[in-house]
A and B are shown apart, each in its own frame.
Chain A
Amino acid sequence: MPDDELSRRIYRAARQLLPEMDITTRRVVEDLLKKAEDGAKTDNKIIEIISRDDTLREKFRSLLPVSYRSLSGFSSLGGYPHPTPGLTYVCPQCDYTRVLGEVGEEPGECPTHHVVLIPQAQKGH
């Protein structure tokens, strides 16, 4: 989706909203729209100003096409996280070891002795 097209849509929607803004906001947005006409990129600033007022923000969203409505900058990174060391649990009676991914996982039992695994740090005690 080209950024220019998105910016144009935002400027158009902001222009449509001008009559509903209070005089101070309106002056600031008009000024930013003027700068946009002169070639400056002011769409983010306009969104920031309009977003301060919940009613205006709602109307602004409804004026944007569906695919642009989220106004969201978040998207996940494409890669995988590097695994940091896990939580090591061991059988108190043998060398059976199991690594858990995170707090909250059940450590389970030793398949040989059928006893609950304990944190590795506790085995020496």
Chain B
Amino acid sequence: MLTDFLTELTKDLPGKWLERVFGPAFLFWAGGLLLVVGPQGLAAWWQYLLILPALAQVGWLVAALLVLNASATVMERLRLPLLRLLEGYWPWPLRLLEAPLIALARRRVQRQRERWSALMQKRESQPLTPAERMELARLEQSLLDFPPDLADLRPTAVGNILRGVERRIVHRCGLDPVLLWPRLWLLLPEDARQEIAAARESLDRLAEAWGWGLCFLVWAFWQPWAVPIALVWMLLAAWLARSPARTFAVLVQSAFDLYRWRLYEALHFPAPEEKGDVEVTAGQSLTRYIQRGV
């Protein structure tokens, strides 16, 4: 019985446990310990551990592994709230930073849109230079990272990428993706679900890594150096999260582009026969039915 128990306990060791032991949880605890006790204190502590009886050493090791694993499990459970923080849905007092950050983003997008518009108009009348063509293509790509309507801007890059796709679907199809995503998910083919789940997993991992950076601020109570380290950590994780956020956004939009008809069919709503305003009206009716029941 004990063997069965141990087998069950350790069967995921090469996978989950190692992933946790050497993941951001390890960086959080090891980095924090190093900051709090210092290199000399850590060396002294190590010496103390070495002179302990073998059983006590194993006990310390098991305790450390348990703490790592338990904290990593807690952070895994917090992935959605962490992603929302990364998207810029902040509680007070962080909410005070929203307005200035959104204003910065707005100025940047307005500048980019004006330049894009000027290049598009120039293209109508004369050929663009290779440098201008490249600039236009870059702007085209970059503007996808923001919601069409600047009133929907978020204070963070990941927030704008995800908000962009959410609002784009509303503007084009009248469907609210936040509300309808669970329904569409159940109608997606297995392959599509796997692709989207994999993209979301990558994004969630970085949201979790960002969350560990946020937690690292705790060590600032003992060592002020924890603050810049935590900020660099969080900025790096947020910067890295943009790429999986884009992939996830593209896949969600593709899912709506390709499979939104299944929603109409499954909910016994007449599918719109035209794109544009007709489809937007039909999409709004379907959204309202899901939200309000009428």
Note all chain B residues with C-beta closer than 8 A to A105: 113, 148-149
Cβ A102 vs Cβ B148 within 8 A:
yes
Q: Which residue of A lies closest to B118 (CB)?
A: A99
Number of residue pairs across A and B with beta carbons under 8 Å? 83
Listed by A's residue number, 25 A-B pairs whose Cβ atoms lie within 8 Å are A51-B190, A62-B12, A66-B19, A69-B198, A69-B201, A70-B201, A71-B194, A72-B194, A74-B198, A81-B137, A81-B141, A82-B137, A83-B136, A85-B120, A97-B121, A99-B120, A99-B121, A101-B116, A101-B140, A102-B148, A102-B171, A103-B171, A104-B148, A104-B172, A106-B151
Contacts A74-B198, A104-B170 aside, 19 further interface pairs with beta carbons under 8 A come to: A62-B16, A64-B15, A65-B14, A72-B194, A74-B247, A80-B134, A80-B141, A81-B137, A81-B140, A83-B140, A86-B117, A99-B116, A99-B121, A101-B148, A104-B149, A104-B167, A104-B171, A105-B113, A106-B151
User: When each residue 125-168 of chain B gets 1 if its CB lies under 8 Å from chain A and 0 otherwise, what string results?
Assistant: 00000000010111011010001111100000000000000011
Contact A80 B140 (CB under 8 A): yes
Please report which residues of chain A, range 68-99, place their CB below 8 angstroms from some CB of chain B when the two chains form the complex. Answer: 69-76, 80-83, 85-86, 97-99
Residues of B within 8 A of A76 (CB): 246-247, 250
Bound complex: CA A74 to CA B170 (Å) = 25
Q: Which residue of B lies closest to A63 (CB)?
A: B15
Q: Could you tell me if B251 and A74 are in contact, using CB atoms closer than 8 angstroms? A: yes
CA distance A69 to B197 in the complex (A): 11
| A residues 8-38 in Cβ contact with B at 8 Å | none
The residue of chain B having its C-beta at the shortest distance from the C-beta of A103 within the complex is B171
Give residues of chain B (66-108) contacting chain A, Cβ–Cβ below 8 Å. Answer: none
CB within 8 Å of B: which of A90-122?
97-106
* A interface SS class: loop
Task: List residues of chain B with CB within 8 A of the CB of A51.
Answer: 190, 194
Cross-interface CB contact of B149 among A70, A82, A83, A106, cutoff 8 Å: A106
Binding site for B on A (CB under 8 A): 51-52, 62-66, 69-76, 80-83, 85-86, 97-106
Asked whether any CB of chain A lies closer than 8 Å to the CB of B285, the reply is no
CA distance A100 to B110 in the complex (A): 11
Q: Are A73 and B137 in contact (CB under 8 A)?
A: no
Q: How far is the CA of A69 from the CA of B190 in the complex (A)?
A: 16
Given that A63-B15, A98-B117, A101-B143 are contacting pairs, would A72 and B136 also be in contact in the complex, using a CB cutoff of 8 Å? Answer: no
Q: What is the CB-to-nearest-CB distance from A73 to chain B, in angstroms, rounded to a whole number?
A: 7
Q: In the complex, which residues of chain B have a beta carbon less than 8 angstroms from the beta carbon of A106? A: 149-151
Which residue from chain B places its CB closest to the CB of A54 in the assembled complex? B190
Q: Chain A contacts of B151 at CB under 8 A?
A: 106
Cβ of B135 to closest chain A Cβ, rounded Å: 10
Inter-chain contact A83/B120, CB cutoff 8 Å: yes
Bound: A38/B141 CA distance, A: 47
B171 contacts across to A, CB distance below 8 A = 102-104
Complex Cα distance, B120 from A101, in Å, reads: 10
Contact A70-B202, Cβ < 8 Å, known A101-B140, A106-B150: yes
Question: Is B257's beta carbon under 8 Å from chain A?
Answer: no
